[in-house]
Structure 1
Amino acid sequence: MSDSAIHSIAGAAGGIVAMSATYPLIFLSTRAAVETKKEQKSTYQAILDIIKREGVLGLYSGLNSSLLGIAVANGVYYYFYERSKETILRSRSSKALSTLESMLAGLIAGSATTIISNPIWVIQTSQAVHTIGTDAGQLVVAKKLGFIETVKSIIAKDGIAAFWRGIGPALILVINPIIQYTAFEQLKNFLIARRTSKLRAAGVVAAVAVLSDWDFFLLGALSKLVATSFTYPYIVIKSRLQAGTANSLRYKSSLDGLLTILKEEGVEGLYRGIGSKVTQSVLTAAILFAGQRRIFEVTKAALQPIIKA
């Protein structure tokens, strides 16, 4: 089995762990991004309101499709990223990607991931916002739909094409992992080079610094913080389009959606739910980068006897 395939397995497993740990924050940011009302609530108050209306399990609506989505998305992304990285590095002797090369590998991996996984995120978003409804101005709880029920509901209502709702802003958001992985690679290369120089200056001539799990955790968190902060307005647009709400169906394009939100809700509308999203994204990325590396090493070591046989 190639390293790219093992990276894919490790990425999928790491994503499932990270998603399971942080899902309530994803749920809250999705709800906030889709709701267009002016009322502002703290994350704490939003949690209390959802628990009151839907119970604790309400914070996990759409978790099943999210776990499938993150497994597919991370598996596909890591496979294409590592395969692209291997192809680039084989053409020369260097073991590190330049900034432009990191961006190219991220563009290839991100585009493939977006096209393949978009239907799953449409289902997840639909499940997350399905219980949003009004009755005389009050929020009411609708019947929760399972994965298959949600698929049938989307097809019956809008047809197969609905599974690629929001594909425009989703493709634009390929820039998010490009920024994230480019920042990660360059920070990682900088840290390794700096520590290696210190080791060699101390007299360890052939030394090459090795990063710890904690280093990967912090680098993953920092790189995701940068990426999400830059791209959040398009995350709002993507969530609204994938939810298929009446308001979002008025948007003629991603740009029209941005301008409409600015006009009707102000700048704050483009950043609705950013607090819980940034917290979730940073934690997820930190857990993913640390976990993926460790799972990769364990999986590769476990497969070595089989490969040699």
Structure 2
Amino acid sequence: MSDSAIHAIAGAAGGIVAMTATYPLIFISTRAAVETKNEQKSTYQAALDIIKREGILGLYSGLNSSLLGIAITNGVYYYFYERSREAILRSRSGSKALSTVESMLTGMVAGSATTLISNPIWVVQTSQAVRTMGSDRQPPVSGKLGFLETVQSILAKDGIGAFWRGIGPALVLVINPIIQYTAFEQLKNFLIQRRTAKLRAAGAAATAVAVLSDLDFFFLGAFSKLIATSATYPYIVVKSRLQAGSANALKYKSSMDGLLTILKEEGVEGLYKGIGSKVVQSVLTAAILFAGQRRIYEITKAAIIPVSKT
């Protein structure tokens, strides 16, 4: 099995763990992003309202499609990211660390491929998450739909093209993981270089290189995701509304038109609805993912290598 495939498996597994742990926050931020009323609620109050109306399991509506989505998204992303990274490193000699431009190029290739492949799943997840809150297209309903039932419902109502609703802002949001992984790579390189210099200054061999811990990866993942999510959140709002099939959102002529329309009708606050729970969720998910993916990658590789030698 190739190194890229192992990275893909580890990324998918790490994503499932992270998504399961933080899903209620995704659910709350998705609903807040889709809501067009100027209603201010804390994450805590929003959670209480959902539990009161739909029970504790209401916070997990759409979890099944999210787990499928994150497994495919992370698997595809890590696969293309590592393949692109390997291709760049093979094409030149010298440092094995990616430069800022190389990190951005690698992230763009991986992010674009991932978005095109996974968008239908996120349309299903968003539809499941907002189904019981009602919308400008339909009143609230009490019954929840499973993954396949939601797929059939979207097909019957809007046709197969509906699965690529929001693809415009979703492609713009490729910049989110680009920012995230670029920040992560550069912070990681800086930390390794700094610790390696201290290690060698303390008397270690000239070839000694510092090794980062799981905790280092946890905090590097958290900080890089905080930077990326804060910078791109308004596009997340536009994407969520389009994927939910909001009638107002479907009138947006482009991602930029969506941003301007929200700004005009709802003010600056409208562009950042649900950002509190989203930032907390994104940071926790990225932290768990970066730490977990690294550990799962090492365990998987250690398990596969002996098998391949027999």
Give the TM-score normalised by structure 1.
0.97
Moved over 3 A (4+): none
Matches within 5 A, 1:94-173: 94-133=95-134, 140-173=140-173
- Map of 1:45 onto structure 2: 45
Matched, 1:184 2:184: yes
Deviating more after overlay: 90-99 vs 147-156: 90-99
Alignment of 1:49-60 (within 5 A): 49-60=49-60
Distance 1:140 1:78, change over 3 A: same
Query: Structure 2 unaligned runs (5+)?
Result: none
Identical pairs, percent: 82
Matched, 1:201 2:204: no
How far, CA to CA, are the matches of 1:99 and 1:134 in structure 2? 42
Determine if contact 1:132/1:142 at 8 Å carries over to the other structure: no
CA deviation string 1:162-220 (max 9, x = no partner):
00000000000000000000000000000000000001111112210000000000000
Unaligned 5+ runs, structure 1: none
* Alignment partner, residue 259 of structure 1: 260
1:79-111 per-position Cα deviation (integer Å, ceiling 9, x unaligned): 000010011111223210000000000000000
Q: Which residue of 2 aligns with 1:26?
A: 26
Give the secondary structure class of the aligned counterpart of 2:39: coil
Cα shift at 1:76: 0.1
Q: Equivalences for 1:207-222 in 2 at 5 Å?
A: 207-222=208-223
SS at match of 1:93: coil
Alpha-carbon distance, 1:250 to partner: 1.8
Quick one: which amino acid aligns to residue 252 of structure 2? Y
Paired position in structure 1 for 2:235: 234
**1:4 corresponds to which residue?**
4
Structure 1 CA distance, aligned partners of 2:193 and 2:254?
A: 44
> 1:133·1:142 contact (CA, 8 Å) conserved in 2?
no
Match in the other structure for 2:287: 286
Bigger Cα displacement from structure 2, 298-307 vs 217-226? 298-307
Tell me how far apart the structure 1 counterparts of residues 307 and 108 of structure 2 sit (CA, whole Å): 34
Contact 1:30-1:239 within 8 A present in 2 as well = yes
Letter in 1 for 2:261: T
Q: Equivalents in 2 of 1:291, 1:76: separation in Å?
A: 17
- Structure 2 counterpart SS, 1:18: helix
Please say if residues 6 and 300 of structure 1, whose CA atoms lie closer than 8 Å, have aligned partners that are also in contact: yes
CA contact (8 A) 2:135 2:246 kept: no
Query: Considering only aligned residues, what root-mean-square deviation do their CA atoms show, in Å?
Result: 1.2
Whole-angstrom CA distance in 2 between matches of 1:66 and 1:90: 35
Letter of the structure 1 residue corresponding to residue 199 of structure 2: L
Deviation at 1:291, TM superposition (A): 0.0
SS at 1:294 equivalent: helix
Letter paired with 1:306:
V
One-letter amino acid of the structure 1 residue matched with residue 234 of structure 2: P
Paired with 1:244 and 1:176, the residues of 2 have a C-alpha distance of 23
Question: How far apart, in 2, do the equivalents of 1:276 and 1:284 lie?
Answer: 12
Deviation of the 1:308 alpha carbon: 1.4
CA distance in 2, matches of 1:158, 1:184: 39
> How far does residue 132 in structure 1 lie from its aligned partner after superposition?
1.2
Moved more, 106-115 or 241-250: 241-250
Report the Cα distance in structure 1 between the residues aligned to 2:246 and 2:78, rounded to whole angstroms: 32
* Residues 18 and 285, structure 2, Cα contact 8 Å, conserved in 1: yes
The Cα of 1:134 is off from its aligned counterpart by 7.4
Q: Contact 2:180–2:225 at 8 Å: present in 1 too?
A: yes
Does the 8 Å CA contact 1:53/1:141 hold for their aligned counterparts? Answer: no
Offset of residue 133 of structure 1: 2.2
Per-residue CA deviation, residues 87-145 of structure 1 (Å, 9 max, x unaligned), is 1111223210000000000000000000000000000000000011279xxx8543111
Query: Which residue type is aligned with residue 149 of structure 2?
Result: E
Contact 1:200 1:207 in 2 (8 A): yes
